[in-house]
Amino acid sequence: MLYVGFKRIMDVLIAIIASILLSPVLLITSLAIIIESKSKDTIIFKQDRIGLNGKVFTIYKFRSMTVGAEKGGVYESKNDARVTKVGKFIRRTSIDELPQLLNIIRGDMSIIGPRPVLTYHPWPFEKYSEEQKKRFSVRPGVTGWAQINGRKDVPWDKRIELDIEYVKNISFLFDMKIFFKTIVKVLLMQDNVNTGETVNRKESD
């Protein structure tokens, strides 16, 4: 599709410009994390995710939890002690996602697309059905159709349905709709905490 090529060019241009314009935010956030954690080694959180065509890549985020917090489980609880003071703020404002601008430039991600899933959650790549694997036929995004339709409150089977709907209807107008609705969600700080299980354990076994 012609639009996919155009989308990739726009992704890179926007990510580069955004990285420059938001450099003060990136710097201040980095310094705040260093001051709180007393270590420059904890600024960026790295994690394996499944991307385009099932290829695994490393996603980047500003660290919002204590080191090793992921061992305590995927879901965040209310007033989760693993989340740092700086982390609470950057999560609520979605600033923690800004390092993914590098993922976009590298070609791992797009600005808009299905969110990249963990290699083991909700289930391993090989356990997705052929229909579900369609969500991996485009680059994963920083935001997507599922994110503006409930984000972290949406059960995984529904999220995947929304992702597939996006893939089947991908277009410039659809992306613009998602982009502007995402801006509203970020400004209102909506649906940005995952406090309940959104995957059927029987399906993930």
| pLDDT confidence of residue 127 | 96
Quote the CA–CA distance of 176 and 181 in Å, as a whole number.
8
Which token pair is 183? 């801006």
**What confidence category does residue 17 fall into, taking pLDDT thresholds of 50, 70 and 90?**
very high
**What confidence category does residue 37 fall into, taking pLDDT thresholds of 50, 70 and 90?**
confident
Is 73:66 a contact under the CB 8 Å cutoff? no
DSSP character for 65? B
Which token pair is 103? 């993922």
Residues 135-142 have a mean pLDDT of 98
Rounded mean pLDDT of the chain?
Answer: 88
Higher pLDDT, 72 or 55: 55
Neighbours of 13 (CB within 10 A): 11
| pLDDT confidence of residue 76 | 56
| pLDDT confidence of residue 193 | 58
| pLDDT confidence of residue 201 | 42
Residues 181-191 have a mean pLDDT of 85
Which token pair is 188? 């209102």
Least trusted range by pLDDT, from 9-23, 55-69, 70-84, 152-166: 70-84
Contacts of 141 (CB under 8 A, 6+ apart): 109, 110, 111, 112, 113, 114, 115
Ordered alpha helix ranges (H), the chain: 2-21, 23-37, 85-92, 100-106, 156-168, 172-188, 201-204
Residues 171-185 have a mean pLDDT of 95
Residue 159, exposed/middle/buried by CB under 10 A (0-12, 13-18, 19+)? buried
Residues 178-200 have a mean pLDDT of 75
